[in-house]
Amino acid sequence: MSVNDIQDSIIEEFSVLDGDQEMTNFYLMDLGQKLPSMPEEIKTDDNIVKGCQSTVWLNASMKDGRVYFQADSNTAITKGLVSLLVRTFSGQSPDDIINAELYFPERIHMNRFIGTQRSNGFLAMIKQFKVYAVAMKVKAESQ
């Protein structure tokens, strides 16, 4: 699935919640619980996303020209937020990640159910996903 197909799927899922903040938060926590666990040995300081109020770990690897991400957080809602990004970007090519225009946060009215701090952290997460994609692209081109 393309980045936009995945975003459209996320938008459709959240539309069922009809903007209900409590249900949305529970759904985000549920998504976070379903995120595959990240091995403790890669929860290092180097993998912490800078700019997040909560602790968020993000790791990337590349296989067959696609970037795969692992993530975790020490808070349930933030873990749900990062799970949305893992779902959107994992398995995509570096160029698809770099060039992706994320529209799902606006369409699901994310600003209504996450505060300014989390919103800034979410932007920091997006930036880190793209930084990893650039790094993977450069590494692949140099081999």
Q: What is the CATH number of the domain that holds 119?
A: 3.90.1010.10
Coil, helix or strand at residue 9 = helix
Q: What is the mean pLDDT of the chain?
A: 92
Q: How many residues does the chain have?
A: 143
Q: What is the pTM of this model?
A: 0.93
pLDDT for 3 beyond 80: yes
For residue range 45-92, what is the model confidence (pLDDT) as tens digits? 999 999 888 899 999 999 999 999 999 999 999 999 999 999 999 999
What was the pLDDT predicted at 12?
95
Distance from C-alpha of 9 to C-alpha of 6, rounded to nearest angstrom: 5
Domain tally, the chain: 1
Instruction: Identify the domain containing residue 74 by its residue range.
Output: 3-142
What was the pLDDT predicted at 18?
83
Which of these is catalytic: 3, 28, 35, 52? Answer: 52
The residues facing 70 across adjacent strands are: 59
Find the helix or strand (DSSP H, E) in which 57 lies.
Answer: strand 56-63
List the helix and strand counts (H, then E) for the chain. Answer: 7, 2
What was the pLDDT predicted at 63?
94
Distance from C-alpha of 121 to C-alpha of 110, rounded to nearest angstrom: 13
Sign of the dihedral through C-alpha 117, 121, 124, 126: negative
Catalytic-residue membership of 52: yes
